[in-house]
Amino acid sequence: MKVLVADDDRGSLLVAQAAVQQSGHDCIVASDGDMAWQLYQEHRPEVVVSDLMMPGLNGLDLCRAIRADESDLYTYVVLLTSHGARDDVLAGMEAGADDYVTKPLDPFTLHTRLLAAMRVTSLHAELASYRSALAAQARTDPLTGLHNRLKLAEDLQLMESSSERYGHGYALAIVDVDNFKSYNDIYGHPAGDAALQAVARVLAEQSRDSDGVYRYGGEEFLFLLPGQPLDGARSIVERTRAAVQELGIVHAGGTCGVLTLSVGISATWADRGVDGRQLLKEADAALYAAKTAGRNMVAVAAVAEQS
């Protein structure tokens, strides 16, 4: 573990540093509260051992600052107090401290506190890992591994905020697998699932790292393309459409004999000021136009082209 020790008394600081290092942990030292806060932000130690009274931030203020700044990972805080100072101990616990050690510092006592701190911080790290995994799972489509509609809603909101604040444009494309119901009817749902997975892989491969790719529902997918004008978006999805056709997934019920895509695109930019909900409607209308015109093609929303 990384352990930050903060104490303005040099003798006590050296004793604590030696005890931490003998316990097998990395030790960072600070001679006042302000330095401790700066080092905490820089190193994010698992444990902070702080004197209660010292220049700059005192131990209580440092503890409150740490608790206010924490995210998923937990910092175990041990306060150093005067022997028998019950009011100080109570104030420290109310400020968010986990434990206390009385002065003069006993290395063995500090060692036992570090053992407890290691168990607690390890448990918090494990819980944070589980929470992160659950959050990712909640935003991932289980069949294709792409983002799902929950993640789309979050990303679209962020994109709208960026567009409103900085004038950044973006494009949105709805992608539909042509005649997919008949594909399932002819080849069965397991084959249909495999086809959707193959299409999803192509979409992910054709996208940039900054692009968002989502399973929108059933056989529909969606591209969220930040910083892309209509021409750039059209180029990306046209390349994707061609790549799926080149997979050569046989489809006797399709117009080309293989699985194909139809795509509808819309976009917004600084002078247009259209929100995500409107872009979805426009892209959906363009997709309908592509299907009506014969499928296996890319169509751009007329209102976007005219803007």
Q: What is the pLDDT of residues 230-281, one digit of tens each?
A: 889 999 999 999 999 999 999 998 888 999 999 999 998 877 778 889 999 9
Please say if 282 is a catalytic residue. Answer: no
CA angle in degrees (0–180, nearest 5) for 19-24-25: 80
Low-confidence ranges of the chain (pLDDT < 50): none
Domains identified in the chain and CATH numbers? 2-138 (3.40.50.2300), 149-306 (3.30.70.270)
For residue range 43-56, list pLDDT tens digits in order. Answer: 999 999 999 999 99
Q: Return d(Cα 294, Cα 307) in angstroms, integer.
A: 26
Q: Which among 154, 219, 282, 305 is annotated as catalytic?
A: 219
Alpha-carbon span 12 to 29, nearest angstrom:
11
Q: Is the dihedral of CA 104, 55, 65, 20 positive or negative?
A: negative
Q: Tell me, what's the pLDDT at 154? A: 94
pLDDT of residue 305: 64
Secondary structure (DSSP) of 178-199: TTHHHHHHHH-HHHHHHHHHHH
